[in-house]
Copies of this chain bind each other. A is one copy, B any other.
Amino acid sequence: MALVGLVNYLDWRCRPAKNAWRVRSHQIASGQVMGGSGRVTLNDVAAASGVSRATVSFVLNDDPRQTISAATRERVRQAARELGYVPHGIARALREGASRVVVLNIDWGLEGNYSHSFIRGLDDELAAHDHVLLVHHGHHSPRSTRQVLDAITPRAVIRFAEPYLTGHDLDDRGGGWKDGLAAHAALQIRHLAERGHTCVALALPDTETPLADVRLRFAARTAEHLGLAAPVPFVVPRPRTAGARAIEELRTAHPDVTAVAAFNDDVALRTLTAAHDLGLTVPGDLAVIGYDDTEYGALITPALTTVHIDAEAHGRLAARAALGLDTTGLEPVPARVIVRDSV
């Protein structure tokens, strides 16, 4: 009896599909199963308040193109409240052409402070506009996106694979030098420069990501602007020993590098560990600055100095963009350097 009780994972389960022959079920799962019969529909509300379905719809949606008497309006509202009417999203979606759902595509390995606050902001703002956020984890082929699209026709699909933008768009539209990717990359490099470092390396993850190129470009532009040497890109691979080897190679190939700016906190942590394993002192022999302020940076010794980005506003903005709303008047909290012990 493997994994007894797993069935109870279920928080809620819809009545089985009518065409149950398709999924020949041998066992009915437990959980709170809700029969479809209980649903209160527009028809019920219409009947209860003695008007037509159309009128009910007009009232409940506050349709400005219709004139409904105050008395009727009140009667309908009352009935809806008493019956506990809730519009059926699926039916509405069929009619409107899209469900009130926004899907966020997140690739693996992008968790962190940024994604959390981004999701929070996105979720909040969508909720404020009567929409729901659902996240699709995995690696995202056009095919997998199509499946989601076909399954629920969401109002929009937002991709998080490249948290800000692809480099191309960025260049076209100002690069986000104010409060986007470019600004944050610059912040990181600038902090190193302020601490007197003149030759820095950029530590990249071993997984392929289009964002790496963009980051490198922005770092390079910032370095140039500050009069530093061009940043040296290098990869910090995953097994602990391989990471150490990478750092060793970097230091022999580029002896003048005194600081490392990491693509994210994960890579920074690996760099810190590698430095420790090589017997290097941090920040004496090598300074390290992270990016995105995960919890773990505070726990390692020496504690990681990093860039903290509050993406709540980014999330809200993304939500409004997805809904086709006005996106002005939403000032993001500026990113800041969390100074700890590694720089």
Q: Cβ of A9: which chain B residues have Cβ within 8 Å of it?
A: 158-160, 165, 318, 321-322
A90 x B153 contact (CB < 8 A): yes
In whole angstroms, what is the CA distance A172 to B7 when docked?
Answer: 13
B6 x A65 contact (CB < 8 A): no
Q: Which residues of A from 1 to 48 have beta carbons under 8 Å from B?
A: 1-19, 21-23, 25-29, 31, 36
Stretch in contact with the other chain, from A71-79, A196-204, A214-222, A266-274: A266-274
Stretch in contact with the other chain, from A226-234, A252-260, A282-290, A296-304: A296-304
* 0/1 interface trace, chain A 53-83, chain B, CB 8 Å (1 if under): 0000000010111000000000000000000
A23 x B323 contact (CB < 8 A): yes
A101 x B152 contact (CB < 8 A): yes
Best-buried of A63, A137, A145, A269 by chain B (most CB within 10 Å): A137
Which residue in B96, B153, B176, B269 is a CB contact (below 8 Å) of A19?
Answer: B96
* 0/1 interface trace, chain A 302-343, chain B, CB 8 Å (1 if under): 010000000001100110011111111011100000000000
Instruction: Known contacts A18-B97, A99-B90, A150-B88; decide if A135 and B132 are in contact (CB<8 Å).
Output: no
Give this chain's copy count: 2
A151 x B17 contact (CB < 8 A): no
Instruction: Known contacts A10-B321, A19-B61; decide if A2 and B97 are in contact (CB<8 Å).
Output: no
Q: Is A157 an interface residue (CB 8 A)?
A: yes
A318 x B132 contact (CB < 8 A): no
Q: How many residues of chain A are within 8 Å of chain B by beta carbon?
A: 122
In whole angstroms, what is the CA distance A29 to B317 when docked?
Answer: 11
Q: How far is the CB of A102 from chain B (nearest CB, A)?
A: 10
Q: How far is the CB of A336 from chain B (nearest CB, A)?
A: 17
A96 x B18 contact (CB < 8 A): yes
Q: Is A125 an interface residue (CB 8 A)?
A: no
Q: Which residue of B lies closest to A34 (CB)?
A: B149
In whole angstroms, what is the CA distance A297 to B150 when docked?
Answer: 40
A324 x B16 contact (CB < 8 A): yes
A317 x B90 contact (CB < 8 A): no
Instruction: Known contacts A5-B170, A137-B135; decide if A13 and B155 are in contact (CB<8 Å).
Output: yes
Q: Is A223 an interface residue (CB 8 A)?
A: no
4 extra interchain contacts, Cβ-Cβ under 8 A, other than A6-B314, A15-B98, A88-B150? A7-B327, A25-B325, A27-B325, A99-B151
8 pairs, A vs B, C-beta closer than 8 Å = A14-B156, A19-B63, A26-B325, A27-B324, A27-B327, A31-B156, A88-B153, A103-B134
